[in-house]
Structure 1
Amino acid sequence: MNKIILNDNFEFKQKAILLVPTFFFLYFSCVGLQTFLNHKIEELNVSFFIMLFVFSIIGISLLALTFSKVGFKVQDNELYRILSFLDLNFYSKKINPRDKKIFSILYKKAFQRNDYLSAGGADVSYNFAVQDFVLLSENHLEKESLIKLNSQKHSEELKLFLEEFGKLKFEIYSPNFQ
């Protein structure tokens, strides 16, 4: 099995938002664990153990999701988009190219405003380039987005990976309307 891990699943501000419920569940899991260690099992009821288990599972799952990374893998000559945490794949989605055995990279300029920083009236925004990997039909009229990357390094790595292991052909996007 060949795989490539590219970049984080969430941006910094999205991670900050996800960390609030994550710490909530993990905090109450730790409090429950301390309660369990400080009391006799006979003094605790079944609902305590259920809540401890549920809060622990939700907290660990949110932590893994918050710091997950996006990538691709090839298994049994099939291409999958994966989410992984600490080299453990916990979600994979099969990419079904059907008649789309061609991919291209579309370059776009984008800009993002940081509204949470501009409360004082200053316009805090930044420009960046986005490389959008798309699957194309033979005449390039139908396209399906695979992933959008901000890093040129990751873009080159993914291009080589899709050509070598994904058995996809790279072409420059030029639709044929005939």
Structure 2
Amino acid sequence: MNKIILNDNFEFKQKAILLVPTFFFLYFSCVGLQTLINHKIKDLNVAFFIMLFVFSMIGISLLVLTFSKVGFKVQDNELYRILSFLDFNFYSKKINAKGNKIFSILYKKAFQRNEYLSAGGADVSYNFAVQDFVFLNENHLEKESIVKLNSQKHSEELKLFLEESGKLKFEIYSPNFK
């Protein structure tokens, strides 16, 4: 099985937003564990153990999701998009190429404005390039997005991975309207 891990699943501000409920659940899990250690088990009821288990599982799941990375794997000649945490794949989705064995990279310029930093009136925005990997049909009129990357380094790595392991053909996007 060949696989490639590319970049984080979430941007910095998305991670910051996800960390609030994550720390909430993990904090109450730690408080529950301290209560469990300091008291006799027979003094605690079943609801306590259920809540401790639920809060712990939700907290750990949110922590794993927050720091997960996006990647791809090829297994049994099928291409999958994966989410992984510490080299453990916890989610995979088969990418349906619909018989298309051609892919291309579309380059787009974008900018993002950070609303949470510009409360004082200053326009804090930044420009970046997006590389959109798309499946194409034979005449390049139909396209289906696979993934969008911000890093040129990851873009080159994924291009090589799809050509070698995914057995896909790279072509420059040039639609034929005939």
Q: TM-score range by the shorter chain?
A: over 0.9
The aligned residue for residue 150 of structure 2 is 150
Q: Determine helix, strand or coil for the equivalent of 1:127.
A: strand
1:114-154 deviation per Cα after TM superposition (whole angstroms, max 9, x unaligned):
11001111100000000000011111111110110110000
Aligned pairs for 1:1-178 (under 5 A) are 1-178=1-178
Amino acid paired to 2:91: Y
Measure, in 1, the Cα distance between the counterparts of 2:86 and 2:145: 26
Deviation beyond 3 Å, 4+ runs, structure 1? none
Instruction: Give how far 1:99 is off.
Output: 2.0
TM-score (norm: length of structure 1) = 0.99
CA distance in 1, matches of 2:53, 2:139: 53
Gaps of at least 5 residues in structure 2 are none
CA distance in 1, matches of 2:47, 2:81: 38
Shift of 1:112: 0.5
Indicate the SS of the match to 1:91.
Answer: strand
With structure 2 as the length reference, what TM-score do the two structures score?
A: 0.99
- C-alpha distance in 1, partners of 2:75/2:125? 41
C-alpha distance in structure 2 between counterparts of 1:153 and 1:60, whole Å: 31
Give the Cα–Cα distance (whole angstroms) in 1 for the partners of residues 105 and 79 of structure 2: 17
Which secondary structure does the structure 2 equivalent of 1:118 belong to? coil
**Which residue identity does 2:116 align to in structure 1?**
Y
Structure 1 SS opposite 2:119:
helix
The whole-number CA distance in structure 2 between the counterparts of 1:176 and 1:32 is: 64
Report percent identity of matched pairs. 89
Offset from partner CA, 1:78-118 (integer Å, 9 cap, x none): 10000001111010000111221100000000000011001
Q: Separation in 2 of the partners of 1:46 and 1:137?
A: 58
CA RMSD, Structure 1 to Structure 2 (Å): 0.5
Q: Secondary structure at the match of 2:55?
A: helix
